[in-house]
Amino acid sequence: MGLPGKVLAERLNYSFSRPELLETALTHRSMGRKNNERLEFLGDAVLGLCVSESLYELFPQVEEGDLSRLRASLVNRETLAAIAGELALGDELLLGGGELKSGGFRRSSILADALEAVIGAVYLDGGFEPAQRLIQSLYADRLKRLPPPAELKDPKTRLQECLQGQGLQLPEYHVEAILGKDHEQRFQVICSVPGSTFRAQGEGSSRRKAEQAAAAAVLKRLTQ
């Protein structure tokens, strides 16, 4: 029986001279000491550098803070897991019995870590340029679809900046109600702007999420 990952390598359009690196990249820690955690560490660094360079070239006028937000939107767990899903990477993961039974091949954290490990494996096998080409290929569509950097700021930050730009006072947040049982609480928060009629309610599974929802509602009113 051959080493795992052959189909994945074809999807990556990369031929490993050391296919055992890909096998290690696909091996979860539930399989024992020889697993993909070290490759994940390496791949994370390579991914961050390549995405940073792409953003630097694509957005020559964008400041560091916005570049950081753009990068975070591309290298977070959800995006990595989505790319791993597009590659059907979960089908080739090597998981221990417990992870297999619990559906580990579908878990976002495992998929994201494995994709970073695969990037690390390509880097070790072929060097920086093949790893960079792979990352550019995986992210090509997402880089084209990036929203304006300002839209990546959370609603509370955008609301504060909008209010300051209009010479209005900073918003205040008040928890109006906490609903549900302890393990499934829902928070209702009121966001209001002192000295104005701008006021809205937001709801979420945490106080922070409810505040963000309320801020987004007030921001929508301000910008209509």
Which amino acid is it at 55?
Answer: L
Q: Which residue ranges are tagged as binding site for Mg(2+)?
A: 40, 113, 116
Per-residue confidence (pLDDT) for residue 148, from 0 to 100:
81
C-beta atoms surrounding 203 within 10 Å: 15
CA distance linking residue 122 with residue 126, whole number of Å: 6
Q: Per-residue pLDDT averaged across 35-64, rounded?
A: 96
Q: β-pairing, 186-192 with 172-179? A: antiparallel
Task: Write out pLDDT tens, residues 163-178.
Answer: 999 999 999 999 999 9
Q: What is residue 2's predicted lDDT score, i.e. its pLDDT?
A: 47
Name 161's Cβ contacts closer than 8 Å, sequence gap at least 6.
Answer: 153
- CA 131 to CA 100: how far, in whole Å? 29
Q: How far apart are CA 200 and CA 197, in angstroms?
A: 10
Residue bearing the bigger pLDDT, 88 or 100: 88
Q: Among the ranges 62-71, 98-107, 194-203, which has the highest mean pLDDT value?
A: 194-203
pLDDT given for residue 4 in this prediction: 60
pLDDT greater at residue 42 or residue 30: 42
For the entire predicted model, the pTM comes to: 0.72
Domain boundaries in the chain?
6-147, 155-223
- Calpha distance 151→64 (Å, rounded): 15
Does 44 participate in catalysis according to the annotation?
yes
Task: Categorize the per-residue pLDDT at 3 as very low, low, confident or very high, splitting at 50, 70 and 90.
Answer: low
- Whether residue 91 lies in the annotated active site: no
Residues in the chain: 224
pLDDT higher than 70, residue 7: yes
pLDDT at 21: 96
Higher pLDDT pick, 37 / 107: 37
What Å distances lie between residue 31 and 39, 97, 197, CA to CA? 15, 8, 59
What is the chain's mean pLDDT, rounded? 91
Please give the full DSSP string across the chain, using - where no structure is assigned. -PPTTHHHHHHHT---SSHHHHHHHTB-GGG-SSSSHHHHHHHHHHHHHHHHHHHHHH-TT--HHHHHHHHHHHHSHHHHHHHHHHTTGGGG-B--HHHHHTTGGG-HHHHHHHHHHHHHHHHHHH-HHHHHHHHHHHHHHHHHTPPPGGGGS-HHHHHHHHHHHTTPPPPEEEEEEEES-GGG-EEEEEEE-TTSS-EEEEEESSHHHHHHHHHHHHHHHHH-
* Across 103-117, 144-158, 196-210, least confident range: 144-158
- Name the active-site residue from 99, 116, 125, 211: 116
Domain 155-223, second-level architecture = 2-Layer Sandwich (3.30)
Of the two residues 181 and 26, the one the predictor is more confident about is 26
The yes/no answer on whether domain 6-147 falls in CATH 3.65.10.10 is no
- Which segments are annotated as binding site? 40, 113, 116
- For the segment 77-101, the average pLDDT, to the nearest whole number, is 90
Is the model more confident about 31 or about 217? 217
d(Cα 114, Cα 40) in Å, to the nearest integer?
A: 7
Residue 1 CA to residue 69 CA, distance in Å, equals 44
Single out the catalytic residue among 44, 92, 125, 211: 44
